[in-house]
Amino acid sequence: MRRPRLRPGMSLEGPAQPQSSPVQVTFEVLDFITHLYTGAEVHRDLDVRILLTNMRTKSAFLPPQPTSVQNLAHPPEVVLTDFQTLDGSQYNPVKQQLERYATSCYSCCPRLASVLLYPDYGTGELPMEPMDVPLLSTIRPASPVARSPKQPVRGYQRGAVGGTFDRLHNAHKVLLSVACILAQEQLVVGVADKDLLKSKVLPELLQPYAERVEHLSEFLVDIKPSLTFDIIPLLDPYGPAGSDPSLEFLVVSEETYRGGMAVNRFRLENGLEELALYQIQLLQDLSRKENEEDKVSSSSFRQRMLGKLLRPPHNRPELPPSLYVIGLTGISGSGKSSVAKRLKDLGAFVIDSDQLGHRAYAPGGPAYQPVVEAFGTDVLHKDGIINRKVLGSRVFGNKKQLKILTDIMWPVIAELAREEMDRAVTEGKHVCVIDAAMLLEAGWQNMVHEVWTVVIPETEAVRRIVERDGLSEAAAQSRLQSQMSGQQLVDQSHVVLSTLWEPHITKRQVEKAWALLQERIPKTYQALD
């Protein structure tokens, strides 16, 4: 990943060592920062960071200037400046000054590249923005009174900002940059956790709290090391903004503005002064796809992870050498069977573990006699067939009895699955899918190269189970509670899919996962048809 760093406020003219100079922050400057991060969306592999060390707000409080080399989290690979040369060229002495300056201020790569941003526009005049394409306004005015772009931005000693901050992206960077510019001494950053994550799209794919905090802290310290950052878990809608009397402002987005208003009402009810609210406008996602949000959003990024490989596959030399095995799992109601059918249509050999269980229970089957011996003849129908409902009632809620049953059934089903794998090889198949709700509980991940999990919100799973099986909501929830959660399954998965949206979107996901699978598996596994 390329890591360009930009630092406003320096003079590159003359032979002397370049010196930084303060930049007065106006609303125009904030708009430029937003404009730059918006442009960075075109190249998302670039980790762009605008360093705010030289930014000065309209405030009596002046933070100390850095006096030593700043160790950035990652050494910059490219340094950019808006210095204008008369002929529009990449003037070598200027570039050398820029490189010297960057090296004196930051721990940089040995071979630092520098770029002058202005192209060859001939006359030495600044390029003009088209009149019909205005710069995005970063902060939406709190009142209808017109605001001058040149108006200085007020500074505060302490303020707050909050969010999920999953897979830190450019919209997050705008929100955080504005908060860092406003704060002169301390910034409290609330990071959503636990109950506040339940309503998120694909919460199973959220980065863990500690990982989100690590990336967030790294970014904040890079862009404004003079600030003190207090990063805390956000466990309720108000967080510290609702109770900390020392806070003076709160930065919110268009989406969370109502939440900011609620925070101020809560403060007033508890005898605290209102916070100055700064509402940041959303960045539009020009590359959005169907069922994704219009704005730049972490939930869209998580949706784009569906079907992709999340961790390296297992090496399974004990499996048939020409067969690549996928273990497909998911909670009850997740739509796992519909995904298995789509994979079968694409050419996979599908092993249904439920069908193998029926075979194992049948009279003369490998599990029939052990089950009768363990649970008695009262679990049999009059015709001698095992009554699975009676057997289920015997083991449900009884961990000891359930373990006796699974100790019998799981090894038997695993052996039948191996026999089916041999049949897949005989039929010339090269990809085999084991469809099993209890794949991980049974330990069958040891007989597959990859685990694929189908996820769905629990509320949707309950609705589907009630509709499909005629159970009560309480019974459906009880069934789900007896299984591993979607999060537990995803934590051990290589690929994640979801049937939350329309069938054609699921179809597209599965086709994407299948195509990526064909690209990565060794050629010896790939189907010839």
Is pLDDT at 527 greater than 50 in this prediction?
no
Q: What average pLDDT does the segment 265-279 reach?
A: 96
The pLDDT value given to residue 128: 44
The pLDDT value given to residue 112: 72
Q: Is the pLDDT higher at 478 or at 431? A: 431
The pLDDT value given to residue 46: 83
Mean pLDDT, the chain, rounded, equals 87
Q: Is the pLDDT higher at 62 or at 106? A: 106
Q: What average pLDDT does the segment 411-440 reach?
A: 97
Query: What separation in angstroms does the CA of 22 have from each of 48, 65, 83, 493?
Result: 21, 10, 16, 50
Write the DSSP assignment of 72-120 as a string of letters.
Answer: -SS--SEEEE-PPPTT-S--HHHHHHHHHHHHHHB---SS-EEEE----
Cα–Cα distance, 173 to 162 (Å, whole number) = 12
Helix (H, G, I), strand (E, B) or coil at 490: helix
- Measure the CA angle with vertex 46, ends 171 and 233; round to 5°: 45
Is pLDDT at 103 greater than 80 in this prediction?
no
CA 506 to chain centre: 19
Residue 492 tokens, joined = 């051990």
pLDDT band at 2 (very low <50, low <70, confident <90, very high): low
Helices (H) and strands (E) in the chain, counts: 15, 19
Cα–Cα distance, 54 to 75 (Å, whole number) = 19
Q: Is the pLDDT higher at 41 or at 129? A: 41
Radius of gyration of the chain (CA): 30
Cα–Cα distance, 514 to 175 (Å, whole number) = 38
Is pLDDT at 13 greater than 60 in this prediction?
no
Query: What separation in angstroms does the CA of 264 have from each of 90, 249, 272, 319?
Result: 51, 10, 9, 62
Residue 495 backbone phi and psi in degrees, to 5: -135, 140
The pLDDT value given to residue 58: 80
Q: What is the pTM of this model?
A: 0.86
Q: Buried b / exposed e across 63-78, counting CB within 10 Å, b at 16+? A: beeeeeeeebeeebbb
For 106-124, write each residue's pLDDT tens digit. Answer: 766 666 777 776 544 444 4
Helix (H, G, I), strand (E, B) or coil at 306: coil
Q: Is the pLDDT higher at 127 or at 47? A: 47
Q: What average pLDDT does the segment 481-502 reach?
A: 95
Q: What average pLDDT does the segment 87-95 reach?
A: 65
The pLDDT value given to residue 117: 67
Residue 27 tokens, joined = 């609303």
Cα–Cα distance, 266 to 520 (Å, whole number) = 54
Residue 422 near residue 320 (C-beta atoms within 8 A): yes
pLDDT band at 479 (very low <50, low <70, confident <90, very high): confident
Is pLDDT at 252 greater than 60 in this prediction?
yes
Q: What average pLDDT does the segment 247-263 reach?
A: 95
Is pLDDT at 22 greater than 90 in this prediction?
no
Write the DSSP assignment of 132-197 as a string of letters.
Answer: TSPPPPSEE-SSSS---TTPBPB-EEEEEEEE---S--HHHHHHHHHHHHHEEEEEEEEEE-GGGG
Q: What average pLDDT does the segment 379-385 reach?
A: 91
Q: What average pLDDT does the segment 495-510 reach?
A: 97
For 150-194, write each residue's pLDDT tens digit. Answer: 889 999 999 999 999 999 999 999 999 999 999 999 999 999 999
Cα–Cα distance, 20 to 70 (Å, whole number) = 14
Cα–Cα distance, 439 to 130 (Å, whole number) = 59
* Side chain identity at residue 245, one-letter code: P
Residue 520: count other Cβ atoms within 10 Å of its Cβ.
Answer: 12
The pLDDT value given to residue 218: 95
The pLDDT value given to residue 122: 45
The pLDDT value given to residue 72: 80
For 293-352, write each residue's pLDDT tens digit. Answer: 889 999 999 999 999 999 999 999 999 999 999 999 999 999 999 999 999 999 999 999
Residue 1 tokens, joined = 């990943």
Measured over the CA atoms of residue 467, residue 473, residue 479 and residue 485, the dihedral's sign is positive
Q: What share of the chain is helix, strand, coil (3-state, %, to 5)?
A: 40, 20, 45
Region at 307 (left for phi over 0; alpha for psi -120 to 50; beta for the rest): left
Half-sphere exposure of 87 (CA within 13 A, CB side): 5
The pLDDT value given to residue 83: 66
Q: What average pLDDT does the segment 3-20 reach?
A: 59
List, in sequence order, every residue forming a beta bridge with 283; answer none if it has no partner: none
For 189-208, write each residue's pLDDT tens digit. Answer: 999 999 999 999 999 999 99
